Amino acid sequence: MCCCEKKDPKQEALEALLAKYKSQKGALIPVLQQTQDIYGYLPKEALQQISRELKIPLSEIFGVCTFYAQFHLSPRGRNIIRVCLGTACHVRGGAKIFERVQQELGIKDGETTEDLRFTIESVACIGACGLAPVIMVNDDTHGRLTPDQIPDILAQYE
Ligand code: FES
């Protein structure tokens, strides 16, 4: 690389991370966690670099990434919407809420809008059954919902 060319700060952070963990055993999970903190998800190029530096086959790394729900292989939205489909929410119309969120954003469960504004995830129970049906946007709980409230709620998040 030419000396006047500026390195990507994320790439630099990844290199520093790999230098730190290179000779440590059992480093894969902490390296993946910290790589995800750097990028917001685990880009394929970063995984290839981890594979080279830690000398772990890429297939093994993918296996770990797909096993643990905490790892994401594609970019995630700035706002994460968790739609509860647990029993209490289901009984009180959770499926209709879920349908409306997907319809408003034009994406399905687990997907992210193209502008990276939202990611939708269905969840089993978020521990607010008394407020069913419930969604969470980031750390905010929105309960006792009707589908028609969804557009106004989404409008609160940039
Ligand atoms: S079932 Fe939805 S919050 Fe518990």
For the stretch 20-56, pLDDT in tens is 999 888 999 999 999 999 998 999 999 999 999 999 9
Whether pLDDT at 92 is above 80 = yes
- Verify whether ligand 1 is closer than 6 Å to residue 136 (CB atom): no
pLDDT at 98: 97
Q: Give 69's pLDDT tier (boundaries 50, 70, 90).
A: confident
Q: Which residue's alpha carbon is at the smallest distance from atom 1 of ligand 1?
A: 86
Sign of torsion over alpha carbons 155, 78, 131, 96: positive
Residue 80 vs residues 23, 63, 64, 111, 120: alpha-carbon distances, Å: 35, 24, 23, 10, 6
Q: Give 2's pLDDT tier (boundaries 50, 70, 90).
A: low
> Quick one: residue 26, left, alpha or beta (phi over 0 = left, psi -120 to 50 = alpha)?
left
Percent with pLDDT over 90 in the chain: 89
pLDDT at 5: 65
Considering the segment(s) 79-155 as one domain, its CATH architecture is 3-Layer(aba) Sandwich (3.40)
Region(s) of the chain under CATH 3.40.30.10: 79-155
pLDDT at 86: 96
Structure tokens belonging to residue 4: 């006047």
Q: Is 65 annotated as a binding residue?
A: no
Structure tokens belonging to residue 116: 């990276």
How far is it, in rounded angstroms, from Cα 63 to Cα 85?
27
Find the DSSP H helices in the chain: 9-21, 28-39, 44-54, 58-67, 87-91, 94-105, 150-155
Which of 126, 136, 141, 144 best tests ligand 1's pocket when mutated (most atoms within 8 Å of CB)? Answer: 126
Whether pLDDT at 142 is above 90 = yes
